[in-house]
Amino acid sequence: HSVLLLQFALGALDLLVAQLRDGLDFYRFAQHRTQDREVSAAFGLAAEVRGLMLKDLQRAGAIGDPSREQPIPIDDPAMRYADLRERLDATHPELVATELKKREASLAQLVETLFKSHPAPGVRRVMKNYFPRVKHCAEMMRRLSHRGDVAA
């Protein structure tokens, strides 16, 4: 039973890292692509949180140097950020917000799961420290998605 939990926690950490890296690339791209200053700032904050979280996971010894590691693919297309790049409209970034909202909610849930179940105290500490910021990013994308509902 404990072996299964350990495998689950390690797999969840791999998935989280893959989503953080994919999201970091997307939000950096989107931050500079969008013409809406408020949305650009939200995308910038989402990128910053991901970058800091990855650095802290690396400091905790939970992950290696991203430049030397082969990225783990995200199997579920609904969780990939890269797929949204092509559809991001510089003048209407809210059009991808519903999909971002789903990804952010999934990410927040993953952070919470790892905080509760990962065997390494360093990983749990990083999850605990970043959970409020990840939830804040999810809330920003939720609000942006409502802006898209109004525009549609």
Q: What's the pLDDT tens digit per position in 93-119?
A: 888 888 999 999 999 999 999 999 888
Question: What is the per-residue pLDDT for 55?
Answer: 94
pTM of the predicted protein model:
0.87
Least confident of 13-17, 72-76, 102-106: 72-76
Please, what is the average pLDDT of the chain?
86
Question: Phi/psi at 19 (nearest 5 deg)?
Answer: -70, -40
Rounded Cα–Cα distance for residues 133 and 121 (Å):
19
Look up residue 5 and give its two tokens.
């939990």
Instruction: Give Cα 69 to chain centroid, integer Å.
Output: 18
Helix then strand then coil, in percent of the chain rounded to 5, is 80, 0, 20
Among positive and negative, which fits the CA dihedral 126, 67, 140, 102? negative
Look up residue 150 and give its two tokens.
């109004």
